[in-house]
Amino acid sequence: MDESVDSDDLVIIVENEAESLPAGEEKVKQLGAFGLMDTCPICKLSFHNREPKLLPCLHSFCRRCLPPPLRSAEPRRDPHGPVGSIRCPVCGQECWEIDVLDNFFVKDSAEVPSSTVEKTSQVCMSCDDNTEATGYCVECVEFLCLTCIEAHQRVKFTRDHTIRQKEEMSPEALGVSTQKPVFCDVHKQEPLKLFCETCDRLTCRDCQLLKHKDHNYQFLEDAYRNHKQYLETMTLQLQEKRKAIEEVSSCINSGLQQVEENRKAVTNEIKKSICNLIMEINRKGKILINQLEALTKDHDLALKKQQDDINALTRQLDHVISFTKWATASHSGTALLYCKRLVLLLLGLPVMIILGIDYFFFFFKLI
C-alpha cells in the first residue's frame, strides 16, 4: 500500500500532552479533548440526530448550522451544476460545497453506544434470539450466531461470504464491525464494506466489481487497520513537528520579551539623556544670564551716573535761568555789572558741555 503523503501538507495538529500524565489522567484528558468533537461549535448542541457535516478543514457542524454556500463569479463546475464555496465559521477556510462530507465519526458515536465495542459478549445481529455471536460475516458486516452461520452458508446468495471466528477479530476490527453500516449511493442496499486502494475511497461489492474492476482493494477492517496504523505514524511525526514548532514559538516569545526589555531599557536611557540635557541647558543658561547681568550692571551704573550728572546740570541751569531773569528784572545796574562775568560764564555752560569741555575744570581755571 503506497501512502506517499507529504506530512507538510497536512493541516491537523494533534496535541500530545499525555506522555507526562498517569493513565487515569491521560484518559480524562483525551475524553475532554475529544468531547469537543461531538458538539456543534455554533449551536453548542450534540450532533445526535442533527446530520453532522465534516468540512475539509476538519471542523464539524450540524446541517442546520452549516453556512450557506457562497456563489462566486466563477463557481466550480460539476456534472450536477455549479457548486458554490463554503467558508468555515471557525477558521475561515473556504471549501467547495461538494467537498463537504457526512461526519460518520459523530454519527456512530451518537447512534451506537460506546459500550457495544467493549462488550465481551456480542449478540447475533441477524436473528432476534439474542444468542451470543460466534462468527462475523465480512460481506454483511454482521456478527452471527452458530445457527445463523449455518444458515448463511446454506443460502445461495450468502454461501460465498467470508465467515470469521469472533476470536480472530482484532479490537480494531471489532470497533469497525459494530459501527452502523454506510450504504452505497448507487446501490442502495449494498453497504460500503470495501476500500478501493486505487481510487482511495469506500466502495460496495457491486461498485468494486463494476466501476472499480481490476482495482486494488481491501476489506473494510483490513483497510481500517492499515490506514489507522499509518495515520498513527503520521500523527507521531506531526507531534514531533509540533514540538519543533513549540520550540520556535518559545524562541519567538523569548525574542519578543527581549525586544520589550530592550525597548524599556532604551526608553529609560533616552529619558535620562533628556534629563541630563535639560540640566546642562539650565546650567549653561544660568551662566549666560550671570554673564549678561555682569555686563549690563557696569553699563547700567555708567548710564545712571550720567543720568545723575544730567539731572544735576538741569537743576543748575534752571537756577541760572531763574537767577538771570531775577537779576535783569531788579533794575540794579551796579549789582548786574558786578556779577556779569559770573552770569555769562554760567549762561555759556551748555555750549561747553556739548563741545565736551569739563565745565568744572574750566570754571575753576577761570576763577
Q: What is the pLDDT of residue 7?
A: 38
Q: Give the pLDDT confidence of 196-226 residue by residue, as tens digits.
A: 999 988 999 889 888 898 899 888 888 888 8
Residue spans of the domains in the chain: they are 36-71+85-108, 180-215
The SS3 call for residue 216 is: coil
Pick the CATH number of 180-215 from 3.40.50.300, 3.40.50.10420, 3.40.50.1110, 3.30.160.60: 3.30.160.60
Q: What is the pLDDT of residue 288?
A: 95
Distance separating alpha carbons of residues 181 and 305, to the nearest angstrom: 122
* Radius of gyration (C-alpha) of the chain in whole angstroms: 55
Distance separating alpha carbons of residues 260 and 254, to the nearest angstrom: 10
Domain range 36-71+85-108, CATH class: alpha beta
> pLDDT under 70 in the chain at which residues?
1-36, 70-83, 107-121, 141, 169-180, 349-367
State pTM to two decimals: 0.43
The pairing of strands 135-137 and 142-144 is antiparallel
CB 204 within 8 A of CB 193: yes
Report CA-CA distances (Å) from 312 to 152, 349, 350.
Answer: 148, 13, 13
DSSP structure class, residue 333: H
